[in-house]
Amino acid sequence: MSDQWFYENFDLTGSAFGLRVTRKLDEVQSPFQKIEIWETTDWGNLMVIDGATMVTTRDNFFYHEMMAHAVLYTHADPKDVVIIGGGDCGTLREVLRHPGVQNAVQCDIDEQVTRMAEKYFPELCESNNDPRATVMFDDGIAYMKNAAPESIDVIIVDSTDPVGPAEGLFNQAFFETCHRALRPGGLLVQQSESPLALVGLIRDLRGAMRDAGFVDFKTLPFPQPCYPTGWWSCTIASKEARDLDAFREADAAAKPFDTNYYTAGIHKGALATPPMLVRALAE
């Protein structure tokens, strides 16, 4: 804090992000992490976990929409979806906008994240009581280890950075359990950090997915102003060989719900991998 500004200094990228705040609304130390809620002057409410910016009222739609809609429109017919992490419930809300989804399980280890979201980001939690939704608080690694083989169409790993409780969500052992649980044609998507400053993490992530049995990969960049460098990504992996540039474009163009960022055109544009990222991933 400095003169009513909240700053997150991110050593790995040599950068910082700041928001002008008016007051701290809440703070709780869960068994896993420290969660703070701040009121800002221009970005609505801000959730901070262990000093790292997680979500703001103003710009969360970039992340939640790209994490949900890109992979769901890439899958042929997603009915059963599992979200590992995602405690703020924004990704769950976007998943349940798809009428074809029959079951959506959200498994986050920290119940306090969801309780804070219900209080300070209620718009993100508006689908928590949807009859298709199961909101549970458990170890996502154990959940996937115990998942029935070939029982899931899409797995969304909506995790924090690969430290603390989320560290085990970025390795081959975890991805092997995801591969086993996916049905034929199944897809996994993982938030994959900044393609500008953390491309080494994306290379390692894709390598771990490949070693776990996944075949094809596509990293989709998108803006996310409150995260380090302001440029974020998600990486989709397929259980079997397929063209991940192909998605249900007509369905996406005719989607029966409103969005703030995701469109069929945005999806198509995100598939055009920038040359610098192509080169970096090939190294």
Catalytic machinery residues: 158
Determine the Cα–Cα distance for residues 63 and 61; give it in Å rounded to an integer: 5
Handedness of CA 248, 250, 252, 256 (dihedral sign): negative
Phi, psi of 239 (to 5 degrees): -65, -35
Q: Encode 113-122: b = buried (16+ Cβ within 10 Å), e = exposed.
A: bbbbbeebbe
User: Do 128 and 160 contact (CB within 8 A), yes or no?
Assistant: no
**In whole angstroms, how large is the CA radius of gyration of the chain?**
18
Q: How far apart are CA 40 and CA 24, in angstroms?
A: 9
CA angle 120, 126, 130 (to 5 degrees): 145
The gap from C-alpha 192 to its chain's centroid, in whole angstroms, comes to: 8
Task: Give the tokens for residue 51.
Answer: 């000093």
Q: How many CA atoms lie within 13 A of 129 on its CB side?
A: 4
Give the residue from 206, 218, 152 showing the smallest Cα distance to 175. Answer: 206
Amino acid (1-letter code) at residue 159: S
Interatomic CA distance for residues 144 and 180, integer angstroms: 9
